[in-house]
Amino acid sequence: MAAEHWGMGFNKRKLEDQRRQAAQKEAANRAGLIEAKGMTNHPGFFEGTGMPDPGWWEALWPDPADVLTKVGLKSDMDVIDLCAGDGWFTLQIAKIAGHVTAIDIDEKLLQTTRTRLADAKQSNCTYVEGNAYDIATLIDRQVDFVFLANAFHGVPDKLRLARAIESVLKPGALLVIVNWHVLRREQTTVLGEPRGPATALRIGPEAVELAVRQSQLRSVRTVEIPPYHYASIFQKGPVSTN
């Protein structure tokens, strides 16, 4: 009898373990789908721009400050980190620049950013929840630098966003768009797993330039960010004096 009881307990535990493993697998799969395809509840959320889990994001971007310096971020700049996510880049922008405004559609991620910067005793940041398309109404001044990383590929109307960003840039100010290169998702592995947006969503530097061409932003240069990214750098032309 005792052995039978023990056997039933063992089976129950085994079943519970199997259920837990299935739930974990399902959660991991959902996270992958959010990251790759953009499954989320936020209306207006750009496709395939879910914030990845921090483990591999930090492995992929071990030195975000170096990336920012390479793309032209300077001290004293007034910066917008557009689609800021959990603040992995925002913190480094705050350390280098004069001020940073973190904008994201997901208030939970903004809270993570707020905590990250508070823990680092960084107080030169403002946090704004909203849709990137509405950038002109989310900020009350023009800035020196807009940083948009890992989101442009999923923007349905890229010219609309470029024009909105242009309106908040001072003459001569920079827009930096960091994107995944056009590689098959299976090729862009980090910590042994395929990562990043779905293959079909990825766009190269030429396509970014084409999308932005009809705005008043002019392409300045493209910077390689190994292993899988590039940065397209645009500048707002000076205001005409005519």
Ligand X SMILES: C[S@@+](CC[C@H](N)C(=O)[O-])C[C@H]1O[C@@H](n2cnc3c(N)ncnc32)[C@H](O)[C@@H]1O
Q: d(Cα 8, Cα 10) in Å, to the nearest integer? A: 5
The DSSP 8-state label assigned to residue 227 in this structure reads T
Asked if 83 interacts with ligand X (CB under 6 A), we say: yes
Interface with ligand X (CB under 6 A), residue from 32, 88, 102, 181: 88
What contacts 205, CB < 8 A, 6 or more positions away?
179, 222, 230, 232
Question: What is the phi/psi pair of residue 203, to 5°?
Answer: -135, 145
| Nearest residue to ligand X on Cβ basis | 85
Closer Cβ to ligand X, 90 or 215, answer by number: 90
Site string for ligand X, 95-114 (x = CB under 6 A): ---------xxx--x-----
Q: d(Cα 98, Cα 48) in Å, to the nearest integer? A: 31
Closer Cβ to ligand X, 105 or 201, answer by number: 105
CB 187 within 8 A of CB 208: no
The DSSP 8-state label assigned to residue 40 in this structure reads -
Interface with ligand X (CB under 6 A), residue from 34, 77, 80, 84: 84
Nearest to 146 by CA among 215, 194, 203, 226: 215
Closest separation in Å from C-beta 95 to ligand X: 15
Pull the structure tokens for residue 50: 């879910």
| H helix or E strand, kind and range, residue 111 | helix 107-119
Closest separation in Å from C-beta 44 to ligand X: 5
Asked if 45 interacts with ligand X (CB under 6 A), we say: yes
Site string for ligand X, 146-185 (x = CB under 6 A): ---xxx----------------------------------
Binding residues for ligand X, rule: CB under 6 A, are 44-46, 49, 51, 83-85, 88-89, 104-106, 109, 131-132, 149-151
